[in-house]
Amino acid sequence: MWDYRIEANKNVITVYTTEGDARLVQEFRELAPEMSEARIASILVRSLPLTAVLQFVLVDEARRRFVAQRYCYLGSIDDWIDIGREDTLPNLVAKYVKHLGKDTYYDLGLPE
């Protein structure tokens, strides 16, 4: 279960997500067995905090080229890291948004 928000400021488009897992739904279900799983998920998604997880930074205004970045949670970094080469926004969105909410997100931009 996850939700997202998109924010555009100057030269940066930021994607925020809120994530929960099946364990959280199960724990809530035990507290409120009369509620459907869909209703519980809806409540939880609205209640969980949003976290910035992906950015598209405009690097060439004339050509409308962007670079994608993800937030890196390694203790030595804890900052935005580039996760690929510059490209058009539609190409970057198609390439990287599919990783949100998945373990593959954490591999983006790391050395192979």
Which range has the worst mean pLDDT, 1-15, 22-36, 66-80?
22-36
What local confidence, expressed as pLDDT, does residue 2 receive? Answer: 61
Q: Which amino acid is residue 86, in one-letter code?
A: E
pLDDT above 60: residue 112: no
Q: Are 88 and 66 in contact (CB under 8 A)?
A: yes
For strand 2-9 and strand 87-88, is the pairing parallel, antiparallel, or unpaired? unpaired
Task: From 25, 18, 24, 28, select the one nearest 49 (Cα to Cα).
Answer: 18
What local confidence, expressed as pLDDT, does residue 1 receive? Answer: 46
Task: From 99, 45, 90, 36, select the one nearest 70 (Cα to Cα).
Answer: 99
pLDDT classification of 9: cutoffs 50, 70, 90: very high
82, β-bridge pairs = 69
Give the chain's mean pLDDT.
85
52, β-bridge pairs = 16
